Amino acid sequence: MRHWIVVPAAGSGRRFGGGVPKQYLELGGRPVIVHALERLLRSDPAGLVVVLAPGDEHWPRLTGRDDPRILTAVGGVERVDSVRAGLALLAGRAAPEDPVLVHDAVRPCVALDDIRALLAAADHPGGAVLAVPVADTLKRVDDSGRVAATEPRAGLWAAQTPQLCRYGVLVAALAAAGAGDASITDEAAALEAAGHRPQVVPGRRDNIKVTWPADLALAAAILAAQEGA
């Protein structure tokens, strides 16, 4: 069964700060996004769409973007808008029943085994999502920095990417979510809002998302450990 991949990479990295968007920062000698793309391409997709910010100056200079399976689209205001743009480029290429993986450009440590485990869940009608059980105790914190409540941790999982869904089902779910909807932070949220119940596929803890500056050093250590394994 052939599959497709969409990689939203149109974020500006508001939380990370600094000038260069985090997907283009160097990690072990290569930009963050190049690690992610290499790992995704190893799953042998029929095509992979990278969704770029309008006027992105970094992508054209990137080595590692010349694989013939890579296509590019221009993203939108929120992540959900960028994913929608990536899926739109696949119209006429992907069949409605083809599985599509969506993976954040800023998760460079994703393991091929996890991608394969997710693809093995492609028959699930509501899609599938890699996730890990939450380990920390979760506090709700008010504006003054004080703990307002402790959230019960039982049954809570942290969703990662890739997330998987049949092309037709995902397009319909994202069409139903409004443009610029910042509350839809992953594909599973759009699928849930459309009445689906995505399957959780337990993932590896080292599939971290580079969000804060300290994550870069952590990602470098993870990549080094994976290469040594």
Binding interface with ligand C5P (CB under 6 A): 8-11, 23, 51, 75-79, 82, 104-106, 211
Q: How far is the CB of 134 from ligand C5P (least distance, A)?
A: 18
Q: Helices 32-41 and 214-228, interaxial angle, to 10°?
A: 40
CB of 109 to ligand C5P, least distance (A): 14
Our CB check for ligand C5P shows the closer of 31 and 124 to be 31
Nearest residue to ligand C5P, scored by beta-carbon proximity = 11
Residue 124 or 129 with smaller CB distance to ligand C5P: 129
Buried b (16+ CB within 10 A) or exposed e, 52-89: bbeebebbeebeeeeeeebbbbebbebbbbbbbbbbeb
| Least distance to ligand C5P, CB of residue 171, Å | 17
* Min CB(34)–ligand C5P separation in Å: 13
| Residue located via tokens 């992105």 | 56
Structure tokens at 67: 């694989």
Kindly state the helix (H) or strand (E) to which residue 160 belongs, with its residue range.
strand 157-166
Q: Which is nearer to ligand C5P, 124 or 222 (CB)?
A: 222
The distance of closest approach from Cβ of residue 103 to ligand C5P in the complex, given in angstroms and rounded to an integer, is 8
What token pair was written down for 200?
């959780």
Pick 82 or 160: Cβ nearer ligand C5P: 82
The residue whose two tokens read 């779910």 is 173
Nearer residue to ligand C5P within complex by CB, 25 or 128: 25
Virtual torsion, Cα 179, 180, 181, 184, nearest 10 deg = 90
